[in-house]
Amino acid sequence: MEERPLMLVAKDRPTTNTHLVTWVDEMAKMCKPDRVYWVDGTEAEAKALTEEAVGSGVLTPLNPAKRPGSYYSRSDPNDVARTEELTFVCTPTKAEAGPTNNWMEPAETYATLRAIYDGAMRGRTMYVIPYIMGTPESPFAMIGVEITDSIYVVLNMRIMARVGEVALDLLGGSDKFNRGLHSVADLDPARRYICHFPQDDTIWSVGSGYGGNALLGKKCLSLRIASYHAHRQGWLAEHMMLLEAVSPEGETHFIAGAFPSASGKTNLAMLVPPPELAGWKIRTIGDDIAWMRVGDDGRLWAVNPEAGFFGVAPGTNQKTNPTAMKMLEHDCIFTKVALTPDMDVWWEGMDGPSTDLTDWRGKPWRRGSKEPAAQPNSRFTAPMENNPSLSRYAKDPRGVPISAILFGGRRTTTVPLVVESFNWTHGVYLGATAGAETTAAITGAIGRIRRDPMAMLAFIGYDAGAYFAHWLSMFGRMTRPPKIFLVNWFRKGDDGRYLWPGYGQNMRVLKWIIDRSSPAGGRAGAMETPIGLVPRLSDLDLRGLDAPIEAVERALRVDPGEWEKELEAHAD
Ligand code: OXD
Ligand code: MN
């Protein structure tokens, strides 16, 4: 491809922070880019960078009449998901990384990666992205600087974090920032590493341009590195959505929920109640990450550190998530979805298509083809402001006080629709043993059950045993702890069909959870079972539910035989 001149004039360094400047110079010396560009975060810059990305073919504009301000990006077929087998926690000892993380010795890792980074940015621009996770006013905000040679990463980071001058202002002359180095290098999976050095507050990622591997503020900083800090400092960094629920009487509750990747966190955070419960309002605070701290009032307070949504496209439609469909109408980036002939997006789960398409690899795709047109882990990146039901607390620097924590599995058997734990310790056990059938958000086999404690298996940045102990110890720090629930929208009947309709209907489960969690205590009934408190049919508001009552009964059932097997399997 012909080299195009950079349309932006590389400005002088916009900071006198010597820690930052020295580090950037060092990284530039190693990666040897043709130029260094400091991202300022302005609209003018975004426009110029977008033009640049369109000019070089990284982005394709979508039909401005149908999807204004939106762009399309393809991915290398070798680089479509997080690569957990190539993700490492590089603590001085293996024991600190624990049994669930891949570990490499830090000095050796730096040496191995230096050899890959050496000259990797030749002919390219090195972008320096100062960013904040959290709102700038929040005492809990974290500052990172990501160096990258991917303009796609810059344009996505602009949506997912607060970038540019705002971050440099907050940083001032301080040395306290996460040092993130990212290069797509040659995209060779054999030379791909996603490495975390918690002690150095450093992330080195090379060989992948995929969101979770490349947008370093997200999984790498806000979960793996943040969980390491959280353990030492007495708070929690979790893979959780956050929602605000307002009852018809105007009572507000905040709920946090951990669900494995691609198991409906985004849909839950944007839930639209069914007509029978239309007096309820659900508003989104976050769809992927929650940082939670104990407040002076003894409650658990949560913030969403992100500024946008990086969600799974397939399955998103008017029925599953009308809010997201509205959110995706403008100013989004779509990655590896399918394209219609008039340059709009399409993915499996949407109506139609009414024409043949271009699939995610850029090949013609015929209607009715068995191959998916959109890559199963194809994504949208949408600014928070696009969400028509964004909570007014979404950017509150103090966060919101949590009434209930949900741990979600993705289990076709055994686990009932909802279980309330007897107490905090039991709740932590339910979270620690939650399991999921694997999905397309990570590479590897699909459909196998894996235990995914708190949906954090891939994101605990230290020893998992210490993580469980930390969760248990959090109880002692709170005077008004949230209640903990296990939920499972995915149980199937003998005929292989889902027993519970899910999506908007989950409002009925949320209502029960809220009634159980209200300070007045137990506004809804429950039945005690050996595994926890489960609603009877009569405890749920099922007015107008379009599902056979027997199926709901089965979804709630605690089967002793299934649980005997389940408990044996917990030994794993
Ligand atoms: C995500 C994931 O991208 O969990 O949020 O994989
Ligand atoms: Mn996630």
Q: What is the pLDDT of residues 504-540, one digit of tens each?
A: 999 999 999 999 998 766 789 999 999 999 999 999 9
Residue type for 74, please? R
What's residue 437's pLDDT? 75
The pair of structure tokens assigned to 116 is 């890959």
Within 10 angstroms of residue 112's Cβ, the number of other Cβ atoms is: 17
Phi-psi domain of 362 (left: phi exceeds 0; alpha: psi -120 through 50; beta: other): left
The closest of 23, 32, 207 to 113, measured between CA atoms, is 207
Question: What atom in ligand 1 is closest to the CA of residue 81?
Answer: 6
What's residue 438's pLDDT? 67
Nearest CA, atom 3, ligand 1: 212
- The size of the chain, in residues, is 572
What's residue 442's pLDDT? 60
Q: Print burial letters for 322-336: b (CB count within 10 Å at least 16), e (below 16).
A: bbbeebbebbbbbbb
The pair of structure tokens assigned to 449 is 């059950």
The neighbourhood of ligand 2, an ion, using CB within 5 A, equals: 261, 288
What's residue 569's pLDDT? 85
Ligand 1 centroid–CA 441 distance in Å is 6
Beta carbons of 198 and 228 less than 8 angstroms apart: yes
What is d(CA 30, CA 27) in angstroms, rounded to the nearest whole number? Answer: 5
Report pLDDT digits (tens) over 409-440. Answer: 899 999 999 999 999 999 999 999 998 876 66
Q: Which residues of the chain have pLDDT under 50?
A: 1-9
Beta carbons of 238 and 101 less than 8 angstroms apart: no
As a whole-number percent, the residues of the chain with pLDDT over 70 amount to: 96
Q: Which residue has the tokens 């900071």?
A: 15
Please tell me the number of the ligand nearest to residue 160's CA: 1
Residues facing 286 on adjacent strands: 242
Ligand 2 centroid–CA 154 distance in Å is 20
Phi-psi domain of 349 (left: phi exceeds 0; alpha: psi -120 through 50; beta: other): left
What is d(CA 239, CA 93) in angstroms, rounded to the nearest whole number? Answer: 25
Nearest CA, atom 2, ligand 1: 261
